[in-house]
Amino acid sequence: MSFLLRTHTCGELRASHVGQTATLCGWAHSVRDHGGLVFITLRDRYGFTQAVVEPGASQSAADCARGIHRESVLRIVGTVSSRPVGTRNNAIATGDVELVASDIQVLGDAAPILPVEVSDDKLANEEARLRYRYIDLRRHSLQANMHARHRAALAVRNWLAERDFIEIQTPLFVRSTPEGARDFVVPSRNFPGMFYALPQSPQLYKQLLMIAGFDRYFQLAPCFRDEDQRADRQLVHTQIDLEMSFCDEDDVFTVIEGIISAAFRAVNGVEVNGPFLRLSYDEAMERFGSDKPDLRFGMEMRDLTDLVSRSEFGIFRDVCASGGRVRGIAASGCAHFSRKETDELAEIAKIYRAKGIMPLKVEEGRLKGSIAKYLSDDAQRAIVRMLDAEDGDLIIMVADDPEVSAVALGQVRRFLGRKLGLIREGDYKLLWVTEFPLFEWNPDENRWEAKHHIFTQPREQDLPILESDPAAVKGRLYDLVLNGVEMGSGSIRISNPDLQKRVMNIIGTTSEEAERKFGFLLHAYEYGGPVHGGFAIGFDRLIAVILGLENLRDVIAFPQNAAGVSLVDDCPSEIDPKQWKELHIRPAEGVAPGRGSR
């Protein structure tokens, strides 16, 4: 590749270049003055090269070298030379050579004091790093993350294109359909009182593309959700979005497994070939207390209700009599846990609405603890057997509502997996969770809601009970889980407008409201819509999990902070008072035009 200002990159020179004249451009990573002999480590995205300014060099080069600040942008011309014996650096690819400088130009001078260091060993606080993100992004780890993201995106695109998927960009201005997360809305200047929304997903448009006959579609789509920030959430995220016609669940699984395998190979060379393990939603909840279980360790949950329902322990009797469940797990070798440690587990359970936990130690095949005396010898032995427990283990039980007991104990299990070091680094466990409930009850609004979204096809065998028993209806829904993290979800879609109206009616959407919000989609199916299904993978999250990162901000070039503020450009920002008028809107009471507050 030919460059105007340079002949080579900073990661390119080798022993084979010795004696040649080379011109490099990059950032001054370090400058060391050894009393007339000045060493400059020059850095670009490709690597590092050491340049040396010798005492016999031109006066201009020597004078320039002594005044260089770290992170200044330089152009250095010189002769490639072998490093003296004993000074070679095996840590960098160019470590056998150095550039003996004959001319140095400062293309961009840096301030003497940097607001953040370009070092993975000297991290400033996150707020400072986000404000000076353009400096922080020079760090090797972040540049490696961006490279990994690029390789994964390219691999996914190529894999899908080779299988006849077409990349199509769907609109970024859509109609607002306030279901789930809040929409970002954009006022229309030309239509006073009317608003666009930024898409939470391309869902409706990709269904229209299937009706249009494109058969296989994908895009790496930006999606916008006005929701509270967390380490694994951003206001804007990218998803690998796809849809395919004339397919069933197995077809979708095969495609997604191929995409995931391609991404892993591109990022870190790991092979994670399908088919991935499959569990129904009910089985996942029953065994792990989670619809996104981490399978990198065991400690499976067991339902002990039948073993304790007739015990003398009042809590067990009452919970069982009211239709609740008593569940347990065995933590290997944890009988030594202190009261403080078991209290910590109880607090975790309480976060998920359980009233507490019942810890019991296993000694000589029996249980020891405050409630052991209420359990018969036969019941104790049966509990130990069912949980595959051994002497020295700690059995943890939760008695509560069926869902609460499962979820709370599942979170205790998750915590113990990390606390006990049961998760091996570099271990990847992928899982399909299928057949989710189609609806869930919202007690605050006293109505049914769609558990995922309203366009999901119910299972064929559940159609007769769709209206009479919504709680029992399962959808043709599927989530992909990687190491306990939901990577994405999808479904086989409803392609019958009459069935779509039935589902909308169950969640309380009137015919008029359905027509207003989704009429364009319902009418589209009246003109011939194929059976189709799809999926969306959270791309940012996928890259973070593959790289073993906890924070999504480490794989996004310009993320927002925890408050949803982009510090690098101080966004959101005020707008000019004239813009309020042009958009036919007024600020809320107490907020003056052009003087917005966060």
CA gap 77, 56 in Å, rounded: 15
Q: Is the pLDDT of residue 514 over 80?
A: yes
End-to-end, the C-alpha distance of the chain in Å comes to: 48
60, pLDDT greater than 60: yes
Give the confidence band of 517 by pLDDT, cuts at 50, 70, 90. confident
Q: Is 255 helix (H, G, I), strand (E, B) or coil?
A: helix
- Judged against a pLDDT cut of 50, whether residue 148 lies above it is answered with yes
Lookup: tokens for 253: 């699984």
pLDDT in tens, 169-186: 999 999 987 666 789 999
* Residue 409 predicted with pLDDT over 80: yes
Predicted local confidence at residue 142, as pLDDT: 97
User: Does pTM surpass 0.85?
Assistant: yes
Give tens-digit pLDDT for 217-253: 999 999 999 987 665 679 999 999 999 999 999 999 9
User: Chain-wide mean pLDDT for the chain?
Assistant: 93
Please write the tens of the pLDDT for every residue from 521-536: 999 999 999 999 999 9
3-state per-residue secondary structure call for 505-552: HHCCCCHHHHHHHHHHHHHHHHHCCCCEEEEEEEHHHHHHHHHCCCCH
Q: How many residues in total does the chain contain?
A: 598
pLDDT at 595 over 50: no
pLDDT tens digits for 435-450? 999 999 999 999 999 9
Which amino acid is present at 219?
A: Q
- Average pLDDT on 28-43 reads 92
CA–CA separation, 383 and 379 (whole Å): 6
Structure confidence at residue 597 (pLDDT)? 47
Range among 32-46, 440-454, 465-479 with highest mean pLDDT value: 465-479
| Cβ atoms of 326 and 316 closer than 8 Å | yes
Q: Check pLDDT > 70 for residue 592.
A: no
- What residue type is assigned to position 450 of the chain? A
Choices 3.30.1360.30, 3.20.20.70, 3.90.1300.10, 3.50.30.10: CATH for 297-423 = 3.30.1360.30
Domain 15-108 fold is OB fold (Dihydrolipoamide Acetyltransferase, E2P) (2.40.50)
Q: What are the residue boundaries of the structural domains of the chain, listed by start?
A: 15-108, 141-274+536-579, 297-423, 437-474+496-529
Which option is the CATH number for 141-274+536-579: 3.20.20.370, 3.30.390.50, 3.30.930.10, 3.40.50.300?
Answer: 3.30.930.10
Is pLDDT above 60 for 594? no
Residue of 397, 419, 395, 416 whose CA lies nearest to 406 = 397
pLDDT value of position 362: 96
Band of pLDDT at residue 357, cut at 50, 70 and 90: very high
